[in-house]
A and B are shown apart, each in its own frame.
Chain A
Amino acid sequence: MRLAIKNARIIDPASGRDSAGDLYIDGGKISEEFSRPERVIDAKGLVAAPGFIDLSARLREPGFEYKATLESELEAAAAGGVTSLACPPDTDPPLDEPGLVDMLRRRASAQARARVYPVGALTTKLEGERLTEMAQLADAGCVAFSQANAPLANTQVLWRALQYAATFRLPVWLRPEDAWLAKDGVAHDGELATRLGLPGIPAFAETIALATILELVRATGARVHVCRLSTAGAVEMLRAAKREGLPVTCDVAIHHLHLCDMDLGYFDSNCRLEPPLRSQRDRDALARGLEEGTIDCVCSDHTPVEDDGKHLPFAEAEPGATGLELLLPLTLKWAEARKLPLSKALARITSDAARILGVPAGRLAIGAPADIALFDPRATLRVSPENLKSQGKHTPFAGYELAGRVRYTLVGGSVVYEG
C-alpha cells in the first residue's frame, strides 16, 4: 500500500531531525514524496517517530500460554507503538534449540505485528552447566544469548560461554546478579526490607556479579550487554568500563527508572520484580545514567503474570509486571522530569536500542523499513486492567495517569494499530 502521513511532527533521533513534515511509504519502506497515495493519515498534533524497540518483552510462548499468548502480547506491543522486540529465553522449554526458535519466529511473523527477535539461552535449559549450540541458534534467528533471570553461579561456565560467544562474535546479554548473594531474597536489602521482614538482596549482589562480568569481558573480548541495572554502583562501574573502551552496553527497565523500594508500601506484590526495586538514591543514579548515556536504553521488561501468580504473600508472588504499553509514556515521564527534549527521550527506545539489537530499524531514513509510531504526546492514559491489551494486568503503575498515547503503529508499512 502506498501511504502518506501528513502534517506530523517528525522526530528521528538517528538523524537529529525534529521538524514538521510528511512521510511517504511505498513497498513497506520509507520513500521519497509521491503523488496519489492510496491512504493518507492526517497526523496533525501527532509525533511521527521510528517504531519503538523493546529489548525485553516476554511473550510467554511456548509453555506459559495461561499467562499470555503471542496474539495477546503482540497486540499489546502494537498498542504501545513497539515494532521490534527481543524476547528472553525463559520460556518452557527455554529457547535452547534451533527448532524452538524457528517455530517461535514463524508463529510471531504469522501475527504480522511487531518484529520478534528471540534471545537464545546461553546454557541448555538455562541450568548454567552446558553451552547451547549458539552458532546454530544464531542461524535460526537468535540475536543474542542470555540466562534471562537465572544467574549463572558457575564462573567457569560463564568464562567459557563468553569465550565461545566471542569466537562467533555473538552478543551475550547478562543480568548481573550473584546467585548465592541473591538466594532466597525478594527485596532490596535495606531499611524497607528490614521493616517488612522480607529476605533481602544486597546491592553488592549486582556489583560483584558485574565486576566478574567486566573482568571476563576484558579476558575474552566478548560483546556483552548488561541488562536491567538496578544499583548506583553498577552505573558507576559501567561509566568506568565504557571510558576504558570495553565493548559493553547496558539498559534499565521502566520500573527501576521511576520506582524504589518504598513503593512496596504494604507488601504490594505488583512491586515484586527482578531485580528488586532499590533505594531512591539508586533510582536517581539510574535516571541520571540514562540521561548521560552511560545507560544506553530503556526497556519494558514486560512480564505478564496471571492473577493467581500475584494474589499471594509478597515473597511467594511471581516476579514481573506488564510493560509493553507503558514503555513510551514512562520514557516520556522520565524525560519530562529531567527536562530533556523529546528526541533525546525517543532515542533511548529507538536508535539506541536498535544499535544494541543490531537490526536495521529505529530510524526514519529513506529506504528504511516503515516501522513507525504516531503518538499524541499530551493525551493521557489511565493505567488500569481494562485499558491494557496485554493479558498481563499487573503493574506497579496501576492507577497512574500517564501522558503519551499511541494513535497509529505501522510495521513494514502496514497499519497494525489504530487507537
Chain B
Amino acid sequence: MQRNPQLNDKGELQHLLSIEGLPREIVVQILDTAESFVGVTEREVKKVPLLRGKSVFNLFFEPSTRTRTTFEIAAKRLSADVINLNIALSSQTKGESLLDTVANLSAMHADIFVVRHASSGAPFLIARHVKPHEHVVNAGDGRHSHPTQGLLDLFTIRHYKKEFSGLTVAIVGDVLHSRVARSLIHGLTTLGAPEVRVIGPQTLLPAGVEALGVKVFRDMREGLRDCDVVVMLRLQNERMKGALLPSAQEYFKHYGLTSEKLELAKPDAIVMHPGPMNRGVEIDSSVADGPHSVILPQVTFGIAVRMAVMSIVAG
C-alpha cells in the first residue's frame, strides 16, 4: 500500500481526503480546533485572520448549495479570499479535463482547493497533481468520502455525549450510496466508539460492510434498541426508480424514523441528519423538529469544523 496521500513527510495533515487512515491525534486535533472556533462564530465580529491573503477555490463538479455555502462562510471567517466555481456548468461541458481545470486554477495561485466530484477518488487524483504548497479538501467524492461532514458529525456527538467510549451509534438508510455513512463509520471506529450499527434493507447495504467494523441490522426496531445516537441518511428519490426500493411509502414504514420507533433508543438519544431532509421519507417531522433532534446545531458546528480543517492544512 502506498503512503497515506493526505499526510506530509512529517505526518502532518497536507490534504483532507478521507477520515479513513487519519491518525486519531489528527482527528482529535481537528475537533479541538473546531471547539475554539465555535466561540468565533458566536461573536459579533465573526472573523479571525488565520488565512489572510490566502485563496480558497471552491471547486464543485457536482451541484451543492449547503456544503459549498458552509465552506465559503468558513473560509471568509478565516479571512481568506473565496472563489466559487461551479464546474458542473462550465468547463466540463466544454470538454476540459479535470486535471487541466486544476492546472489552470493553480496558475491563478490557489492555496486550498475545496473539491466536490461525483466520482469516487477524484480528490485523490487532484491531490497527486497539485503543487506542494496547495492543499486539497474533499467536500464529497462519489460514494466514497465526505470527511468534513463526518468530522462535524463526530463534533456534534462529542458535544452532546462528551465521550465515545460507551456509545452505541446507529446509522440508518442508504449506506450503499452514502459517503456520509462511510466517513462517519471510519471516524467512530477511529475514536473508539464500541458499537456502530448500520440499519437498512439489503439492497441499500454495500457488500462486506461488516468489514468496516459495523453490525448490520435489517430490522430497524432491533437496531435502534438502546442507541445513544441515531444518524438518518438522506434517501434520494431516484433510488425508487430502479430495483432498489419499491416505494417511498414502504420505505418510510420500515426505515423512517418516527417518535414511536425512537422510543426504543435511550431516553437521551440524539438524532442527526446530514441534510437535506426528506420529511416523511426517512424522517418524520415530529422527530426532525423534536427535542432529540440536533440537526440544526450540526449545521452550525459544520462551519467551525471546516474552519478548523482549512486552518490546519494551510495554516
Contact = CB atoms under 8 A, between A and B. Distances in A.
Contacts of B23: none
Contacts of B120: 196-198, 267, 313-315
A316 B98 CA distance: 11
A137 to B, nearest CB: 37
Interface string B191-212: 0000000000000001111011
A382 interface: no
B142 interface: yes
A312 B98 contact: yes
B274 interface: no
Interface in B118-170: 119-122, 124-125, 141-145
B97 A311 contact: yes
A313 B212 contact: no
Nearest to A314: B121
Contacts of B143: 197-199
B280 interface: no
A89 interface: no
Contacts of B182: 195, 197
B125 A313 contact: yes
B118 to A, nearest CB: 9
A308 interface: yes
Contacts of B65: none
A190 B207 CA distance: 5
Contact of A313 (B1, B117, B208): B117
A196 B211 contact: no
Contacts of A189: 207
A195 B212 contact: yes
Contacts of B2: 265-266, 268
A139 interface: no
B263 to A, nearest CB: 32
B97 A308 contact: yes
Interface in A175-204: 189-191, 193-200, 202
A194 B211 contact: yes
B125 A267 contact: yes
Contacts of A200: 206-207
B284 interface: no
Given A267-B125, A313-B121, A316-B119, 16 more contacts: A189-B207, A191-B207, A191-B212, A194-B209, A194-B211, A194-B212, A195-B20, A197-B141, A197-B145, A266-B124, A267-B120, A311-B99, A312-B97, A313-B119, A313-B122, A315-B142
Interface of A: 189-191, 193-200, 202, 262, 265-269, 308, 311-316
16 contacts: A193-B207, A194-B208, A266-B124, A267-B120, A267-B125, A308-B97, A311-B97, A311-B99, A312-B119, A312-B125, A313-B119, A313-B120, A313-B125, A313-B141, A314-B119, A314-B120
